Protein backbone atom coordinates (compact mmCIF):
# COMPACT_ATOMS: atom_id res chain seq x y z
CA UNK A 1 0.00 0.00 0.00
CA UNK A 2 2.75 2.34 1.07
CA UNK A 3 6.41 2.03 0.29
CA UNK A 4 9.31 4.19 1.39
CA UNK A 5 12.53 4.01 -0.54
CA UNK A 6 15.87 5.34 0.73
CA UNK A 7 14.42 8.27 2.63
CA UNK A 8 16.98 10.69 4.02
CA UNK A 9 16.77 13.85 6.07
CA UNK A 10 19.62 15.77 7.67
CA UNK A 11 19.63 18.77 9.94
CA UNK A 12 23.07 20.27 9.61
CA UNK A 13 25.49 17.46 10.31
CA UNK A 14 22.88 15.31 12.04
CA UNK A 15 21.28 12.56 9.99
CA UNK A 16 17.80 12.38 11.48
CA UNK A 17 16.63 9.82 8.93
CA UNK A 18 19.40 7.88 7.27
CA UNK A 19 18.47 5.84 4.22
CA UNK A 20 15.25 4.24 5.45
CA UNK A 21 13.30 1.88 3.22
CA UNK A 22 10.21 -0.03 4.22
CA UNK A 23 6.95 -1.43 2.90
CA UNK A 24 3.60 -1.25 4.60
CA UNK A 25 1.06 -3.89 3.58
CA UNK A 26 -2.61 -2.94 3.37
CA UNK A 27 -4.69 -3.66 6.47
CA UNK A 28 -1.62 -4.25 8.59
CA UNK A 29 -0.22 -2.76 11.76
CA UNK A 30 3.37 -1.59 11.40
CA UNK A 31 5.32 -0.57 14.46
CA UNK A 32 8.10 1.96 14.35
CA UNK A 33 10.11 1.25 17.50
CA UNK A 34 12.92 3.37 18.88
CA UNK A 35 13.95 5.66 21.70
CA UNK A 36 13.47 9.44 21.82
CA UNK A 37 15.48 11.08 19.09
CA UNK A 38 15.78 7.91 16.98
CA UNK A 39 14.11 9.64 14.02
CA UNK A 40 10.61 8.18 14.27
CA UNK A 41 8.69 11.47 14.19
CA UNK A 42 10.79 12.90 11.39
CA UNK A 43 10.15 9.81 9.29
CA UNK A 44 6.39 9.92 9.89
CA UNK A 45 6.26 13.61 9.03
CA UNK A 46 8.18 12.96 5.81
CA UNK A 47 5.49 10.51 4.71
CA UNK A 48 2.95 13.33 4.88
CA UNK A 49 5.18 16.04 3.47
CA UNK A 50 5.28 17.89 6.81
CA UNK A 51 9.05 17.57 6.73
CA UNK A 52 10.68 17.86 3.34
CA UNK A 53 12.77 14.85 2.38
CA UNK A 54 16.33 15.40 1.21
CA UNK A 55 16.36 12.23 -0.82
CA UNK A 56 14.29 9.12 -1.50
CA UNK A 57 10.83 8.36 -2.81
CA UNK A 58 7.44 7.48 -1.39
CA UNK A 59 5.10 5.14 -3.29
CA UNK A 60 1.38 4.99 -2.74
CA UNK A 61 -0.22 1.93 -4.35
CA UNK A 62 2.94 1.45 -6.43
CA UNK A 63 2.86 5.02 -7.76
CA UNK A 64 5.73 7.36 -6.85
CA UNK A 65 4.21 10.48 -5.31
CA UNK A 66 7.14 12.80 -5.99
CA UNK A 67 6.37 16.06 -4.25
CA UNK A 68 2.59 15.81 -4.49
CA UNK A 69 1.27 14.92 -1.05
CA UNK A 70 -2.38 15.79 -1.74
CA UNK A 71 -3.52 12.19 -2.31
CA UNK A 72 -1.72 10.67 0.67
CA UNK A 73 -2.79 13.39 3.07
CA UNK A 74 -6.41 13.07 1.90
CA UNK A 75 -6.59 9.39 2.85
CA UNK A 76 -4.48 9.53 6.02
CA UNK A 77 -5.41 10.36 9.58
CA UNK A 78 -2.37 11.62 11.47
CA UNK A 79 -2.06 12.04 15.20
CA UNK A 80 1.13 13.92 16.10
CA UNK A 81 2.89 13.39 19.39
CA UNK A 82 1.74 16.78 20.59
CA UNK A 83 -1.83 16.60 19.37
CA UNK A 84 -4.23 19.45 19.89
CA UNK A 85 -7.60 19.31 21.55
CA UNK A 86 -9.61 22.27 22.71
CA UNK A 87 -9.45 21.94 26.45
CA UNK A 88 -12.32 24.34 27.10
CA UNK A 89 -14.66 22.41 24.82
CA UNK A 90 -16.40 19.22 25.82
CA UNK A 91 -15.61 15.87 24.23
CA UNK A 92 -18.65 16.23 22.00
CA UNK A 93 -17.85 19.83 21.06
CA UNK A 94 -14.34 18.80 20.07
CA UNK A 95 -15.84 16.13 17.83
CA UNK A 96 -18.19 18.72 16.27
CA UNK A 97 -15.36 21.13 15.72
CA UNK A 98 -13.16 18.55 13.99
CA UNK A 99 -16.16 17.36 11.95
CA UNK A 100 -16.44 20.93 10.60
CA UNK A 101 -12.75 21.06 9.77
CA UNK A 102 -12.84 17.69 8.08
CA UNK A 103 -16.08 18.61 6.32
CA UNK A 104 -18.04 15.60 7.48
CA UNK A 105 -21.51 15.87 5.87
CA UNK A 106 -24.12 17.01 8.40
CA UNK A 107 -26.45 14.08 7.88
CA UNK A 108 -23.69 11.57 8.68
CA UNK A 109 -22.26 13.49 11.56
CA UNK A 110 -24.40 12.42 14.53
CA UNK A 111 -24.22 8.77 13.68
CA UNK A 112 -20.46 8.84 13.01
CA UNK A 113 -19.72 10.77 16.19
CA UNK A 114 -21.74 8.32 18.23
CA UNK A 115 -20.07 5.34 16.64
CA UNK A 116 -16.51 6.63 17.07
CA UNK A 117 -16.96 7.67 20.68
CA UNK A 118 -18.45 4.28 21.38
CA UNK A 119 -15.54 2.53 19.71
CA UNK A 120 -12.97 4.41 21.76
CA UNK A 121 -14.98 4.06 24.95
CA UNK A 122 -15.45 7.81 25.24
CA UNK A 123 -19.24 7.89 24.93
CA UNK A 124 -19.90 8.10 28.70
CA UNK A 125 -17.69 11.21 28.85
CA UNK A 126 -19.38 13.05 25.98
CA UNK A 127 -20.21 16.08 28.12
CA UNK A 128 -16.92 16.28 29.97
CA UNK A 129 -14.55 19.16 29.25
CA UNK A 130 -11.50 17.87 27.35
CA UNK A 131 -9.24 19.66 29.83
CA UNK A 132 -10.65 17.54 32.66
CA UNK A 133 -9.86 14.21 30.99
CA UNK A 134 -7.02 11.97 32.11
CA UNK A 135 -3.99 11.51 29.83
CA UNK A 136 -5.22 8.20 28.46
CA UNK A 137 -8.69 9.59 27.74
CA UNK A 138 -7.30 12.63 25.92
CA UNK A 139 -5.40 10.22 23.73
CA UNK A 140 -8.59 8.32 22.94
CA UNK A 141 -10.45 11.53 22.11
CA UNK A 142 -7.62 12.68 19.83
CA UNK A 143 -7.81 9.32 18.07
CA UNK A 144 -11.59 9.70 17.70
CA UNK A 145 -11.17 13.11 16.06
CA UNK A 146 -8.78 11.84 13.41
CA UNK A 147 -11.14 8.97 12.56
CA UNK A 148 -13.87 11.46 11.58
CA UNK A 149 -12.47 11.71 8.06
CA UNK A 150 -12.71 7.91 7.67
CA UNK A 151 -9.03 7.59 6.68
CA UNK A 152 -7.65 4.45 5.00
CA UNK A 153 -4.23 4.99 6.55
CA UNK A 154 -3.73 5.94 10.17
CA UNK A 155 -0.42 7.29 11.42
CA UNK A 156 -0.02 7.63 15.17
CA UNK A 157 3.14 9.21 16.52
CA UNK A 158 3.88 7.92 20.01
CA UNK A 159 0.24 7.84 21.10
CA UNK A 160 1.09 6.06 24.35
CA UNK A 161 4.27 7.76 25.54
CA UNK A 162 3.93 8.68 29.20
CA UNK A 163 0.64 6.79 29.35
CA UNK A 164 0.32 4.21 32.11
CA UNK A 165 0.47 0.48 31.32
CA UNK A 166 -3.26 -0.17 31.64
CA UNK A 167 -4.32 2.70 29.38
CA UNK A 168 -1.66 1.61 26.90
CA UNK A 169 -3.14 -1.87 26.64
CA UNK A 170 -6.60 -0.39 26.15
CA UNK A 171 -5.37 1.99 23.46
CA UNK A 172 -3.71 -0.82 21.53
CA UNK A 173 -6.88 -2.89 21.69
CA UNK A 174 -8.65 -0.06 19.88
CA UNK A 175 -5.87 0.09 17.30
CA UNK A 176 -6.19 -3.66 16.68
CA UNK A 177 -9.93 -3.27 16.15
CA UNK A 178 -9.27 -0.55 13.59
CA UNK A 179 -6.90 -2.85 11.74
CA UNK A 180 -9.53 -5.57 11.62
CA UNK A 181 -11.90 -3.02 10.11
CA UNK A 182 -9.46 -2.69 7.23
CA UNK A 183 -7.33 0.29 8.19
CA UNK A 184 -3.62 0.39 7.45
CA UNK A 185 -1.86 1.61 10.54
CA UNK A 186 1.61 2.85 11.41
CA UNK A 187 2.36 3.49 15.07
CA UNK A 188 5.58 4.69 16.61
CA UNK A 189 6.42 3.78 20.18
CA UNK A 190 9.32 3.51 22.59
CA UNK A 191 7.55 0.63 24.44
CA UNK A 192 8.35 -2.78 23.08
CA UNK A 193 5.77 -4.63 25.18
CA UNK A 194 2.86 -3.07 23.31
CA UNK A 195 4.70 -3.39 20.00
CA UNK A 196 4.05 -7.13 20.29
CA UNK A 197 0.57 -6.41 18.90
CA UNK A 198 1.96 -5.38 15.51
CA UNK A 199 2.32 -7.39 12.30
CA UNK A 200 5.58 -5.83 11.20
CA UNK A 201 8.20 -3.94 13.11
CA UNK A 202 11.00 -1.56 12.22
CA UNK A 203 13.60 -0.94 14.93
CA UNK A 204 15.32 2.37 14.43
CA UNK A 205 18.20 4.02 16.19
CA UNK A 206 20.09 7.18 15.28
CA UNK A 207 18.05 7.50 12.09
CA UNK A 208 18.99 4.04 10.85
CA UNK A 209 17.13 0.75 10.71
CA UNK A 210 18.65 -1.78 13.10
CA UNK A 211 16.36 -4.58 11.96
CA UNK A 212 12.97 -4.94 10.33
CA UNK A 213 10.56 -7.69 9.40
CA UNK A 214 7.39 -9.44 10.37
CA UNK A 215 7.25 -9.92 14.10
CA UNK A 216 6.39 -13.57 13.71
CA UNK A 217 9.36 -14.32 11.46
CA UNK A 218 11.76 -12.32 13.61
CA UNK A 219 10.72 -14.53 16.51
CA UNK A 220 10.84 -17.78 14.59
CA UNK A 221 14.23 -16.98 13.12
CA UNK A 222 15.83 -15.59 16.25
CA UNK A 223 19.46 -16.66 15.81
CA UNK A 224 20.27 -17.41 19.45
CA UNK A 225 18.97 -19.69 22.14
CA UNK A 226 17.49 -17.71 24.94
CA UNK A 227 17.44 -18.60 28.62
CA UNK A 228 15.73 -16.99 31.56
CA UNK A 229 17.68 -17.40 34.75
CA UNK A 230 16.64 -16.64 38.29
CA UNK A 231 19.91 -15.72 40.00
CA UNK A 232 20.98 -16.48 43.53
CA UNK A 233 20.67 -13.27 45.51
CA UNK A 234 20.51 -9.72 44.25
CA UNK A 235 20.01 -9.23 40.50
CA UNK A 236 22.42 -6.30 40.22
CA UNK A 237 25.18 -8.15 42.06
CA UNK A 238 24.62 -11.18 39.86
CA UNK A 239 24.89 -9.08 36.69
CA UNK A 240 28.02 -7.34 37.98
CA UNK A 241 29.78 -10.60 38.73
CA UNK A 242 28.83 -12.11 35.36
CA UNK A 243 30.08 -9.01 33.58
CA UNK A 244 33.54 -9.74 34.86
CA UNK A 245 33.49 -12.88 32.72
CA UNK A 246 34.60 -11.76 29.24
CA UNK A 247 33.17 -14.72 27.41
CA UNK A 248 29.59 -14.14 28.49
CA UNK A 249 29.45 -10.47 29.42
CA UNK A 250 27.91 -9.39 26.10
CA UNK A 251 25.28 -12.09 26.20
CA UNK A 252 23.54 -11.32 29.46
CA UNK A 253 21.20 -8.60 30.62
CA UNK A 254 18.61 -8.20 33.32
CA UNK A 255 14.86 -8.20 32.93
CA UNK A 256 12.95 -7.69 36.16
CA UNK A 257 14.14 -10.28 38.66
CA UNK A 258 15.60 -12.47 35.91
CA UNK A 259 18.82 -12.59 33.94
CA UNK A 260 18.42 -13.21 30.24
CA UNK A 261 21.19 -15.14 28.54
CA UNK A 262 21.52 -15.31 24.77
CA UNK A 263 23.54 -18.25 23.64
CA UNK A 264 24.85 -17.99 20.09
CA UNK A 265 26.73 -20.88 18.46
CA UNK A 266 27.06 -24.17 20.24
CA UNK A 267 29.32 -23.44 23.16
CA UNK A 268 27.25 -22.50 26.15
CA UNK A 269 28.48 -20.91 29.33
CA UNK A 270 25.23 -21.04 31.16
CA UNK A 271 26.70 -23.18 33.95
CA UNK A 272 28.91 -20.23 34.88
CA UNK A 273 25.89 -18.30 36.08
CA UNK A 274 24.87 -19.21 39.63
CA UNK A 275 21.17 -19.92 39.27
CA UNK A 276 18.18 -20.96 41.31
CA UNK A 277 16.18 -21.73 38.20
CA UNK A 278 16.88 -21.87 34.45
CA UNK A 279 14.28 -21.96 31.71
CA UNK A 280 14.54 -21.81 27.93
CA UNK A 281 12.22 -19.10 26.66
CA UNK A 282 11.01 -17.60 23.39
CA UNK A 283 12.26 -14.12 22.53
CA UNK A 284 10.20 -11.01 23.12
CA UNK A 285 10.64 -7.95 20.93
CA UNK A 286 12.86 -6.48 23.60
CA UNK A 287 15.18 -9.50 23.34
CA UNK A 288 15.18 -9.14 19.56
CA UNK A 289 16.02 -5.44 19.82
CA UNK A 290 18.85 -6.08 22.25
CA UNK A 291 20.23 -8.89 20.11
CA UNK A 292 20.44 -6.88 16.90
CA UNK A 293 21.51 -3.65 18.54
CA UNK A 294 24.35 -5.48 20.25
CA UNK A 295 25.39 -7.07 16.97
CA UNK A 296 25.60 -3.66 15.38
CA UNK A 297 27.94 -2.49 18.10
CA UNK A 298 30.01 -5.65 17.82
CA UNK A 299 30.25 -5.30 14.05
Partner 1 sequence: MQVEDIIRVNELSKKFGAFYAVNRISFNIHRGEILGFLGPNGAGKTTTIKMINGLLRITSGNVFVKGLNVKKQIKQIKAFTGYMSQKFSLYPLLTSLENIEFFGGISGLSRKEIKKFQQQIEDTIPIEILKQKIMDIPPGIKQQVALFTCLMPDPDIIFLDEPTSGVDPKNRRDFWMQIYKLKKAGKTILVTTHNLDEAEYADRIIIIHNGKIIRQGEPSSLLKNENMDSMEDLFKKAVTDDETN
Residues that bind partner 1 (CB under 8 A): 14, 34-38, 134-136, 161-167, 190-193, 205-206, 235-236, 239-240, 253-257, 286, 289-290, 293-294
To partner 1, the closest distance from the beta carbon of 98 in angstroms equals 23
Bridge partners, 30 (sequence order): 186, 200
**28 vs 178: CA distance, rounded Å:** 10
To partner 1, the closest distance from the beta carbon of 255 in angstroms equals 6
To partner 1, the closest distance from the beta carbon of 281 in angstroms equals 13
Q: 162 or 223: whose CB is closer to partner 1? A: 162
To partner 1, the closest distance from the beta carbon of 245 in angstroms equals 16
Q: 28 or 41: whose CB is closer to partner 1? A: 41
11 CB-contact burial (10 Å; exposed 0-12 / middle 13-18 / buried 19+): exposed
Is the distance from CB of 253 to CB of 282 less than 8 angstroms? no
Q: 78 or 191: whose CB is closer to partner 1? A: 191
Q: 98 or 292: whose CB is closer to partner 1? A: 292
Assign 290 to helix, strand or coil: helix
Q: How far is CA 232 from CA 112, 211, 235, 278, in A?
A: 57, 34, 8, 11
Q: 112 or 248: whose CB is closer to partner 1? A: 248
**262 vs 11: CA distance, rounded Å:** 37
Q: 134 or 217: whose CB is closer to partner 1? A: 134
To partner 1, the closest distance from the beta carbon of 190 in angstroms equals 5
Is the distance from CB of 58 to CB of 20 less than 8 angstroms? no
Give 106-160 as a DSSP string: HHHHHHHHHHHHHHTT-GGGTTSBGGGS-HHHHHHHHHHHHHTT--SEEEEESTT
To partner 1, the closest distance from the beta carbon of 20 in angstroms equals 17
**159 vs 186: CA distance, rounded Å:** 11
Q: 3 or 197: whose CB is closer to partner 1? A: 197
To partner 1, the closest distance from the beta carbon of 126 in angstroms equals 20
Is the distance from CB of 275 to CB of 261 less than 8 angstroms? no
Amino acid sequence: MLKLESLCKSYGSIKAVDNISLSVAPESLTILAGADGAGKSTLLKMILGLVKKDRGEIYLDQEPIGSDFSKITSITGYMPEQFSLYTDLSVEENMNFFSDIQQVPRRRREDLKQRLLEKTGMLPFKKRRAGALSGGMKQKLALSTILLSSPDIIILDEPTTGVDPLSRIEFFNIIEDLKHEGKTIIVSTPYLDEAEKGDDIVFIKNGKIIKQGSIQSLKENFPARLFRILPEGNIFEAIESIRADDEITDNVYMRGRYIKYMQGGTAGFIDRIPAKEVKKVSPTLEDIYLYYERNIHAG
